Copies of this chain bind each other. A is one copy, B any other.
Amino acid sequence: MSDEAAQREADEAFMRQALALADEAAALGEVPVGAVAVRDGQVVGRGYNRREIDRDPFSHAELLAMREAAKAVGAWRLSGVTVYVTLEPCAMCAGALVQSRLSRLVFGAVDPKAGAVGSLYDLATDPRHNHRVEVTGGVLAEASRERLKAFFQGLRARK
């Protein structure tokens, strides 16, 4: 297997863990977004969107995963850490990737309305910032989109 194929296989395996966390969010009535933070092939942080339950506007999946990773690493710098998240991060979360000096971001579906890693902005790769994040988008994007679609269809059906 080529290095590239091995990387893709590893990315998909971690993204499946993020998708499973998105399902946990959906089960709680939250918009289904999940994330894992990985260092040296080990998961060091997990999170899923829990904004309503926590009553906290910052309880986005990738922020929670990064905060848990920072605790595991024992520092606020997340050098060497990759975050896998099922949806393109918003401006807050993309800014947080830069703040935490994250090495790499892998995301699933794009978010044309609020995404800040290619859609509305390119915050993670802006050369004016003091840190840039390596980005891979579109990993298991369809699986992420399906979950979001099912969630919002369910919301409309209940109204």
A76 to B: closest C-beta gap in Å? 4
Number of copies: 2
Nearest opposing residue in chain B for A98, CB measure: B91
The main secondary structure of chain A at its interface with chain B is loop
Complex-state Cα separation, A67 to B57, whole angstroms: 8
Complex-state Cα separation, A94 to B57, whole angstroms: 13
Interface size on A, residues (CB 8 A): 40
Q: Mark A29-69, 1 if CB is under 8 A from B, else 0.
A: 00000000000000000000001101111111001001100
B-contacting residues of A (Cβ < 8 Å)? 51-52, 54-60, 63, 66-67, 70-71, 74-78, 90-96, 98-101, 113-114, 116, 120-121, 123, 126, 128-130
